[in-house]
């Protein structure tokens, strides 16, 4: 009888660990998805701001984020630099990603 109780305990612990690892893995995947969507949205906004693409920068960012399965949360423009934040998922399982895109800064000593 003690062997059965020990086996049930081992199975319960194993199942709990499997569920926990699965949830952590899903969160990591969702986070990477949000980061990728934010990168693409920021690039779209920056390209539109610079004139490389036609349209409104934040609208372009929202369109690209939507195509990537994310929702645009914020879009800020500072000159040619675009900063966006996107969200993937909903509720307690949502993951957010943030990215900036624009021209590189000038090196020190150069105009």
- Between residues 15 and 26, the one the model is more confident about: 15
pLDDT grade for 110, boundaries at 50, 70 and 90: low
Q: What is the pLDDT of residues 61-95, one digit of tens each?
A: 999 999 999 999 999 999 999 999 999 988 878 89
Q: What is the pLDDT of residues 8-24, one digit of tens each?
A: 888 888 888 888 787 77
Strands 95-101 and 81-88: antiparallel
Domain locations in the chain as residue ranges: 2-101
CA gap 41, 23 in Å, rounded: 27
Nearest of 52, 58, 111 to residue 82 by alpha carbon:
58
pLDDT of residue 52: 87
Backbone angles phi, psi at 79, to 5 degrees: 65, -125
């Amino acid at each position: 009888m003690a062997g059965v109780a020990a086996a049930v305990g081992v199975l319960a612990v194993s199942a709990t660990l499997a569920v926990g690892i699965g949830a952590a893995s899903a969160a990591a995947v969702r986070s990477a998805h949000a980061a990728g969507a934010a990168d693409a949205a920021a690039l779209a906004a920056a390209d539109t701001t610079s004139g490389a693409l036609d349209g409104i920068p934040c609208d372009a960012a929202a369109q690209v984020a939507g195509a990537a399965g994310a929702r645009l949360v914020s879009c800020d423009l500072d000159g040619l630099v675009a900063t966006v934040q996107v969200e993937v998922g909903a509720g307690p399982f949502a993951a957010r990603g943030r990215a900036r895109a624009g021209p590189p800064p000038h090196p020190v000593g150069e105009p």
